[in-house]
Chain A
């Protein structure tokens, strides 16, 4: 199977999962206490509103018609209407998506950039101080609730030392990009952006940094003990080349798989990190919608979150297949 065909196959599978996600979200209507109308209408809605909603959802129709209507609407980009906010769901959800993507990317970049070198260093300097340090750090990192870490960061960096912003997203990455060409000073905008994003990114990224450090360390230890590394050394290849080219490459493959699986944790973590830092992303929207019982917005957010998860996993698989062509044939 060629690389292209593999990616195509995974994309089709991913599409299947997205269909499953949509179906599950559709089914949420039926686990809503009381009538399915409650999944859409606010509790204090008048009888007229309820009837209008029932008609719009086609609740008098057979189930397959409702389902077909739901899928059809989604394909047209219609995620329904929030009666609580009086607005289209699709606009509300996609207005929030960029903030969450920005936060998740920032956290991942920080996590990956720091953890892989740390893991490699830890494995190649086994049982030296740096290894103990890295092990303790990663143990603490995977065991610390990220919302608490966020609060502690606020305590230290915002209350004790007034360095960072503790809430909101006053400057986004788009502003930074614009400042390169625009009239705003670039450095100032960049610093302002960093002041907003640094603490949330650390709070969210620490768990992943710790996890990847652990995985990289144990993977590298395995690889370094394997025959081919010994053989390469015997052939006189320089140590560094062996370490980084061969061993690291082989280590990263399982790391990437785990990361793909842990993406859900990243998004889940983003939800609570956003709550701590009042970050205006999908997470705060989800929590706010649950608190207001705004089920249509919750359903829309769930679809977007599930779909993003699938999309990133397909991407991860493609990278995986690129790094290790063998999986294509499995």
Chain B
């Protein structure tokens, strides 16, 4: 691994670095997150600042006629290939190469065509999709019956499996299969029906599902998407080849492999050893190593994921609103972002992220104020309490270190002591997703990805009484969300959601931390733009 410091040296500027360290140089380089124009990005490579393009030229030579093999390495593999029997980002990335929904999203999150070529709201509030004339990988055409079956398999426990995606399409009351079209009706209005269908609801073939058992469906695929699974090595690697008859046209990738390593340093090593082309969650301390290598660069984008500490309203001391607010004052989020995440994160003060529907621009994050925190703890009557924060290990960027820092800051309050318990993500998430609030941890770190870019998709599941993952029960908030759900006028709905965000800020069921950045390491041999919703779409990658 040769670094290209030589070019950097020219741009050195002396500056002082906090305390014990002295900075020797500065080289600026801006990421191109979100500009979306693959072509131009390709030409400016590593942003022109580190001059690695020259040496990259030799790598570029292997473009041309040679097969374009692309490798993606994530943190964890799938839990089976059934597209409707999981609720995990990683599994979604792996099955999402093969299966598609009726609608889809572009890189910026805009709604685009999927298996439906046209979609509209009917007069009675239902939604109608006009289906594309295409076929599954086994050659059979996609029929409206297949679509109806797929939707019902997700929302109805009596059809096939009890899908964990049950709530992801809204409260579907009826699905009618017509001639080349499908009409879905809801209980209520469902103002974000298209948002939901653009993120969820992958389509499977009814006969293929019914003829095979779960073991087969979880190890084999039959979708409509750009890739076809050729080899499935559970928990280790999934290999794909392009779907030659893809409706979206030629897939530029000749062979795709998805693998995983839970260790971030292992992922980066693989990238730098040119064993893989895209790696997820490059930790802050590794960013410069990737940036300074001549085989790869960093590509990052603000994610639709918010990181927070959840507090259960029904147990002491978190039943006290003052105590919860105290926790928000006790944690120095800005310092954590700066020191632990090296700036890779945006501070938050409400459940809805900036740019998402319902974000309230008037809300300021809770300021770091340990004295105010101590005062609020005293006021809450819980002075001297001992609490334990649970955190997943390695699921979110810097999660353990963020949790350690937060727990330490809370612990340093004179009247609260806080310890930390580290949990494997999969076991923690099982506790969190269990239907009973009694089984949930009292205080835990969690990240929530909002693939619909709509505030209701965070507040409803996580903070309302009926929410699948809720830790809060508040009638006022419940009512606001019910109102938002039935409001047809988008502007009016935004106002309701903004009010809900203000209320959520005041109720403080979370210690609001930050918006996560998706930090990808990307091989210099390819050009690929990340997406805000954390999905990885290798079919949009091009060879350099």
Residues of A whose CB lies within 8 Å of any CB of B are 42-44, 46, 48-49, 81, 84-88, 91-92, 95-96, 154, 158-159, 162, 165-168, 170, 278, 280, 284-285, 288, 290-293
Contact = CB atoms under 8 A, between A and B. Distances in A.
A171 to B, nearest CB: 11
B162 A167 contact: no
Contacts of B434: 43-44
A167 B236 CA distance: 12
B12 interface: no
Of A81, A87, A285, chain B has the most CB atoms within 10 Å of the CB of: A87
Given A165-B275, A168-B259, A170-B275, A44 B164 contact: yes
Contacts of A285: 235
Contacts of B85: 86
B280 to A, nearest CB: 15
A158 B266 CA distance: 11
A92 B439 CA distance: 30
A303 B41 CA distance: 53
A167 B215 contact: no
A43 B270 contact: no
Contact of A280 (B80, B162, B235, B427): B235
B427 A293 contact: yes
B269 interface: yes
15 contacts: A43-B431, A44-B433, A84-B79, A86-B79, A86-B217, A87-B214, A87-B218, A87-B234, A91-B219, A91-B234, A159-B269, A166-B266, A166-B269, A168-B270, A292-B426
A81 B215 contact: yes
B53 interface: no
B157 interface: yes
A165 B273 contact: yes
Contacts, number: 94
Interface string B353-364: 000000000000
A85 B79 contact: yes
B79 A293 contact: no
B219 A87 contact: yes
Contacts of B478: none
B427 A86 contact: no
Nearest to B270: A167
A86 B209 CA distance: 14
Interface residues of B, number: 37
B430 interface: yes
A123 to B, nearest CB: 41
Nearest to A161: B1
Nearest to A92: B234
B424 interface: yes
Nearest to B162: A46
B356 to A, nearest CB: 27
B430 A167 contact: no
A195 B233 CA distance: 22
B171 interface: no
A268 to B, nearest CB: 20
A70 B234 CA distance: 25
A92 B427 contact: no
B82 interface: yes
B266 A167 contact: yes
A96 B234 CA distance: 9
A291 B157 contact: no
Given A162-B273, A167-B266, A280-B233, A87 B215 contact: yes
A293 B423 CA distance: 12
Contacts of B217: 86
A88 B430 CA distance: 21
A278 B275 contact: no
Contacts of B1: 162
Contacts of A291: 424-427
B269 A43 contact: no
A57 B431 CA distance: 24
A284 to B, nearest CB: 7
B110 to A, nearest CB: 33
Given A87-B234, A91-B215, 11 more contacts: A85-B234, A91-B219, A158-B269, A159-B269, A162-B1, A165-B275, A167-B261, A168-B275, A278-B262, A280-B237, A293-B427
B430 A86 contact: no
Nearest to A46: B162
A292 B269 CA distance: 26
